Structure 1
């Protein structure tokens, strides 16, 4: 017999063999034991996490005559035929190549007939999100009124593309990414069964490169075994995955923390000369810094063996700089990684990245307004001290003239000169009717809206969040000016966000983008304008009635009431934690 790939040979045949999905497998087994199975299931999740394997195991279990504790026996004729794909009552369909209306109508017509051998006829439709709109409509009728003894199992990696009418008629199970530890243990078990010699550090490299997919891990393992003549060694694992050795990463991180940009550039160049992939280098670096940060804050959460370093090396490097440096480094790496996706010269970005990392100071986590205006605040405090001294002299009769009043302006939040101007004529109407309830409701829908976008669009909006909302509009703030500018110029992104929010909420909303730097000024400007309108509409009595004084009369009460109304409106719009009340 010809050679079969590891992921095919070692495909799970029981629920207990599925890696990393214990909650899902336990639920399915309990449903089988209690005879409370549904007529339709939806399995969603990243590739290689066990969706199709779970569907086939379920098909065996529901038809197995010797079911034990919810697990198929894998020994009866029915189980064997389903395992080999020869049972006509279990039909597996690839929706990517059978996505038309006619194919689904054919399924609907054949589903009416009783199963020939097994007790249940099971349809497994893989990549179901590829079905056309007409095909989904044809399938919907069958899911609404399913024939007896028929079970549908739909599997997909993109559930946001499936109509809600389909999802609501299925039991949905979300498969999670498989952790590196679980992948490591599974590969170790397989190699022990095959009597293949291996280096555990090589398995950790493969587990991390698989990025949560068990099938990907076994495919990479297959390549390494073939490359190294039935062995699994660290050097070969690094070559196959394109990963960087922990020693070079350790050396690179030490150099950037020492602010030695020249040596760090040399190390980075050596890494690239070995043929390493730029994106993989950044991913490995993020993972390495993540381990350092976790070991600094919670050592028990880090598997020291998987890092390739000793506990002393981790502690020494982790304690070398503060956590703020690591936070700033991860932010910088994420920014460069996004920018590198569309370039043909990654080496330029990596050189810029190296210089940036070597100049980290750990101050970027402080608000920009605070960092940039520290010196101005000191100046204002000195001026206030001088003014108080002059007033004290005048009160004691020491002064002869009143010094001119010094006008003290509040330091403004700095805004990038290149940031696009925000159209306040569109922002203020949204703020006039915005409520905190609308904002909370919109934030609940924000994640669903992001899932309906393309991957590049989701990446762009990953550092954004709604800061104000009404029934007719929403204001979205971006953490980084560069991504804010790109989003503001992307008409297609705006249109898709508008359409998706309308589908989810039923409201037609205008979407306005602002940067995180601009938003405080815009918010304060609106509050000031609101206060100005209230004051211009007041009627002030020049001669208070008898018994009323300017401090205690009706006029003061009216002003106080209107001021309280302004404060309450601002608190309702922006929240109590943002609005600060200061008495003049």
Structure 2
């Protein structure tokens, strides 16, 4: 039996057959029983929950020769004709392919005529949100003044796309996802009636995979039955749907638990060789870690969870993870799942996602980039306890935040002015911080001609296209760093270095602080999938270099370096401080 035959054989023919929509069934039956039939209904809900089927059952109930009756008899000529689609007065329209104003005008012209075969003319418009604005306007006129012998039933999965004037003229019914228990029971009935042998775990897996849609569940059941030659096993259902078997889940989970990044890539390659899709693997992995989380936080709910087998198989695995780490892993996997929808290479993104969660630290452990600093601070107080070290760390973080606030308001610049020699504006800083003298008095020289040559490269275009994403990730990691970096503009990507041009000196210098630089470079690596260094330049210097001889392929390379530390600044120190505090756009020099 084909899927079409199986679905039709088990398609509800009465309100009693509808699965999971008891509230709708009761309301519609009471309306028919009390002769309070509305002229327009709106059925909305997820796909495969029975919206169109309920519309046809309702059309049979109001037109049944023994009715109108709360349940159609399915024996009279009217019921049989509506079921087979031969009654001309019950019209089903697919708005996805008939969405124009001409089709709606035809309906508007025909509703004035009385039904010829049954009691009511019923128009079922499926996916009604696909209609054009003009078609909605034409339909609105008909809904405002409908003839008494016409019933409109609008079905949609996206009711928010309907005009409010249409929704307000309909009785709205929200179809819900079918519960897991009801789906499993209906699948069991189907297999028994059709003589199909099925393992209970396989039915449970199919029901969970359908996401509350009974139609999808029947489709997957038929697919699994065809694969297993009339015998549905858990392994067969997993294979035919592209999911992961329990042992494959366990292998990935063990590699993640042990932070064994080297074991991840062979596992992914094996899955791809077996024909698994990266997006489905990632989706199932999220559910797997969700099961581990539920097992740790709500053990009593273990009977109602899990996509594969007895929850007891997860208990040993759950002991290897902290709840906080599982939370963070699910967050990371969900973020990569959203990105995978638009990825050109889903397998690569799947590998990166697994490598990412492999490197996540346990609860309370510092991130990889912060470990040397934490060890360095801990070494300063060898006799301190863990609690004292944590309190000291918290105090240091508070002081750093206060310093950043003072720098932003300009107070730090005023305090540092008497003691700090003004650095040359435009010189890229390395490890220097704030307004004080740079450590060692040396700054790496930046040759701008390679960046000028690469300003029109595909890498530069990619950097600019994803810069908003980089800023968002930096903001999620530390909002203070984002406040400084947002002043910068990506101008070039040459080799393994991204060049950012700043308008304001203080924003640039704060971005160049070592901790801030490390955070930004880590985000760049996550965004582009490879190590990427950060280089900064003042915007006026970049514009000068971009318009100079090097930009045209000739002349000497344009370099940014600072003068001899002992040489006097080109301008008075207080002028340099004014530029750093307020930015070049707000400072104007006038000679008295």
TM-score bracket, normalised by the shorter chain, equals: 0.5 to 0.7
Q: CA deviation at 1:294?
A: 1.5
Name the counterpart of 1:112. 112
Maintained 8 Å contact 1:246/1:307 = no
State the shift of 1:331 in Å. 0.6
Contact 2:322 2:363 in 1 (8 A): no
Equivalent residue, structure 1, for 2:101: 101
Alignment match, 1:326: 326
Q: CA deviation at 1:205?
A: 2.9
- Alignment-derived partner of residue 286 in structure 2: 286
The match for 1:122 is 122
Residue 365 (structure 1) shift: 11
1:457-511 CA-to-partner distances (Å, cap 9, x unmatched) read xxxxxxxxxxxxxxxxxxxxxxxxx99954799xxxxxxxxxxxxxxxxxxxxxx
1:254 paired residue number: 254
Contact 1:5 1:222 in 2 (8 A): no
Q: Structure 1 488/8 Cα, relative in aligned 2: closer, same or farther at 3 Å?
A: farther
Q: Structure 1 residues 224, 311: closer, same or farther in 2, change over 3 A?
A: closer
In the alignment, the residues of structure 2 paired with residue 371 and residue 141 of structure 1 have an alpha-carbon distance, to the nearest angstrom, of 69
Q: 8 Å contact 2:2–2:222 — kept in the other structure?
A: no
Question: Bigger CA drift: 285-294 or 257-266?
Answer: 257-266
Match of 1:399 in 2: none
Give the 3-state SS of the residue equivalent to 1:43 in structure 2: strand
CA apart distance, 1:87 = 1.7
Structure 1 residue aligned with 2:315: 315
1:411 aligned to 2:393? no
Cross-structure match for 1:158: 158
Superposed displacement of residue 5, structure 1: 3.1
Report the 3-state secondary structure (helix = DSSP H, G, I; strand = E; otherwise coil) of the residue aligned with 2:399: coil
- Residue 17 (structure 2) pairs with residue 28 (structure 1): no
CA change 1:75–1:342 in 2 (3 A) is same
1:16 corresponds to 2:16: yes
Q: CA deviation at 1:351?
A: 2.2
The Cα of 1:208 is off from its aligned counterpart by 3.0
Counterpart position of 1:218: 218
* Structure 1 pair 233–42 and aligned structure 2 pair: CA distance change class (3 A): same
- Alignment partner of 1:238 is 2:238: yes
Q: Residue 270 of structure 2 corresponds to which residue in structure 1?
A: 270
Size of the aligned set, in residue pairs, is: 413
Paired residue secondary structure (2:400): coil
1:352 aligns with 2:359: no
- Bigger radius of gyration, 1 or 2? 2
**Structure 2 CA distance, aligned partners of 1:199 and 1:59?**
38
Whether the aligned pair in 2 keeps the contact of 1:484 and 1:513 (CA below 8 Å) is no
Counterpart-to-counterpart distance in 1, 2:468 and 2:124: 42
Q: Quick one: structure 1 residues 378 and 211, their matched pair in 2 at CA, closer, same or farther if it must change by over 3 Å?
A: same
Distance 1:9 1:365, change over 3 A: farther
Alignment of 1:380-529 (within 5 A): 410-412=399-401, 485-486=467-468, 515-516=475-476
1:205 — aligned with what?
205
1:243 offset after TM fit, Å? 0.6
- Secondary structure at the counterpart of residue 321 of structure 1: coil
Does structure 1 retain, via aligned residues, the 8 Å contact 2:278–2:347? yes
Alignment check: 8 A CA contact 1:46 1:213 kept: yes
**Structure 2 alignment gaps of length 5 or more:** 382-395, 409-463, 484-592
* Residues 294 and 302, structure 2, Cα contact 8 Å, conserved in 1: yes
Q: CA deviation at 1:521?
A: 9.1
What TM-score do you get using the length of structure 2 for normalisation? Answer: 0.62
Change over 3 Å in CA distance of 1:119–1:483 after alignment to 2: farther
1:261-317 CA-partner distances (Å, limit 9, x unpaired): 333433333222211110010111111111221222223434368543434323322
Alpha carbons 1:264, 1:354 under 8 Å: kept: yes
The Cα of 1:184 is off from its aligned counterpart by 2.5
Q: Could you tell me which residue of structure 2 aligns to residue 575 of structure 1?
A: none
Summarize the Cα distance change of 1:208–1:408 in structure 2 as closer, same or farther, 3 Å threshold.
closer
Matched residues in 2 for 1:518 and 1:67: separation?
A: 68
